[in-house]
Amino acid sequence: MTKTLTLLGSGDMGTALGKAWLAAGYDLTVWNRTAARTARLAEAGATVAGTAAKAVAANDLIVLCLLDDASVGEALDGIDLAGKDVVNLTTGTPADARARSAWVAERGGRLLDGGIMAVPPMIGVEGSGAYVFYSGSPELFETRADLLSVPAGTRYVGADAGFAALYDVALLSGMTGMFAGINHAFALLRGENASPAEFATMLAEWLTAMTGMIGGIAESLSKNDFTTGVTSNLAMMVTGNGTLLRTAAEQGVSAELIAPFTDLMARHSAAGHGDEGLAGLVDALRG
Ligand code: NDP
């Protein structure tokens, strides 16, 4: 397989990806809507194409790293994709990825969707922990495995093009809830005679210890058993949540970040599930 590819998009992430391929000796053609933003890659040895159509025509492998799915549709509008391998590293929903996969197939190409689990400074850095979820064409993934493993590790999660986005968004959603809790915790201590730096250490240690609960939730879900082995039951936690909410009020902190979760726990417990652990809330969320 020749070491050539086209990259559409040289924003912060696209530039980091492009630099990694250039550093590994790949021949890179780049296009960006705002031409000036290709300068960093051009300096590093990339060939700059004047239009997206010319960039696509230059190579069989096309990597996209644009803002959102709509930008992908705009950038590829009217371009012949016959015989092209399209790797879409633009963040989107699972439905976006499935629709885009069919859209590329209608135009004669095949698609691999990717969800990047990293920020730009981690790209191309050995040992940074950066990786990309991939789903979609298994043949494309296997044929291009060497190239795909240059900027970050790879995790192939299935032929359904929507799965990379699903795993990506599930991890980001877990992170979003975690940061909501972190912001609430800092707000409780704000204005008090307490060092944010010292508290940060305590919070990081506590949250790290609590990640030990994740495996137990998975086990309950796998067995469809939400009561066996429960050491912190919902009824107890609902009472504890009252203390959390009253403390927020005492400290003048809005409970808006934690209230949706404490409300769900109270509702599920009141519906007769007070002896369950946290895993029971997963199905309660799905209605
Ligand atoms: P940037 O905002 O730096 O770059 C966005 C890119 O999309 C630019 O190349 C921009 O072109 C292009 N673009 C936007 N709208 C259009 C359009 N309508 N038509 C054509 N091109 C368009 O974002 P990033 O590079 O940081 O992010 C790119 C993707 O990578 C996103 O999907 C993001 O979610 C994902 N990602 C980013 C991470 C990060 O930390 N940065 C982490 C993980 C994933 P122009 O220069 O002309 O505006």
pLDDT tens per residue across all 287 residues of the chain: 679 999 999 999 999 999 999 999 999 999 999 999 999 999 999 999 999 999 999 999 999 999 999 999 999 999 999 999 999 999 999 999 999 999 999 999 999 999 999 999 999 999 999 999 999 999 999 999 999 999 999 999 999 999 999 999 999 999 999 999 999 999 999 999 999 999 999 999 999 999 999 999 999 999 999 999 999 999 999 999 999 999 999 999 999 999 999 999 999 999 999 999 999 999 999 87
Specify the pTM: 0.93
CB distance 15 to 69 below 8 Å: no
CB distance 25 to 42 below 8 Å: no
- Sign of the alpha-carbon dihedral angle for 272, 277, 283, 287: positive
Residue 23: left if φ>0, alpha if ψ -120 to 50, beta else—which one?
Answer: alpha
Task: State whether the beta carbon of 66 lies less than 6 angstroms from ligand 1.
Answer: yes
Q: What is the DSSP string of 196-225?
A: HHHHHHHHHHHHHHHTTHHHHHHHHHHHT-
For ligand 1, atom 33, name the residue with the nearest CA: 91
Nearest atom, ligand 1, residue 68 CA: 32
Mutate-to-test residue for ligand 1 from 17, 66, 128, highest number of ligand atoms within 8 A of CB: 66
C-alpha span between 269 and 221 (Å, rounded) = 18
What type of residue is 229?
Answer: G
What per-residue confidence (pLDDT) applies to 2? 76
CB distance 30 to 49 below 8 Å: yes
Task: State whether the beta carbon of 175 lies less than 6 angstroms from ligand 1.
Answer: no
Q: How far is the CA of 126 from the centre of ligand 1 (A)?
A: 24
C-alpha span between 27 and 170 (Å, rounded) = 34
Mutate-to-test residue for ligand 1 from 40, 48, 67, 100, highest number of ligand atoms within 8 A of CB: 67
Q: How far is the CA of 257 from the centre of ligand 1 (A)?
A: 28
Contacts with 112 (C-beta within 8 Å, 6 or more apart), sequence order: 85, 86, 87, 88, 134, 135, 136, 137, 140, 141, 144, 161
Q: How far is the CA of 66 from the centre of ligand 1 (A)?
A: 4
Query: Torsion angle of alpha carbons 164, 167, 172, 176, nearest 10°?
Result: 150
C-alpha span between 147 and 34 (Å, rounded) = 26
Structure tokens of 41?
A: 């890659």
Phi, psi (rounded to 5 degrees) for 48: -95, 125
For ligand 1, atom 16, name the residue with the nearest CA: 71
What per-residue confidence (pLDDT) applies to 73? 97
- Sign of the alpha-carbon dihedral angle for 139, 145, 146, 147: positive
CB distance 112 to 63 below 8 Å: no
Task: State whether the beta carbon of 73 lies less than 6 angstroms from ligand 1.
Answer: no
Q: How far is the CA of 12 from the centre of ligand 1 (A)?
A: 7
Among 229, 237, 217, smallest CA distance to 280 is for 217
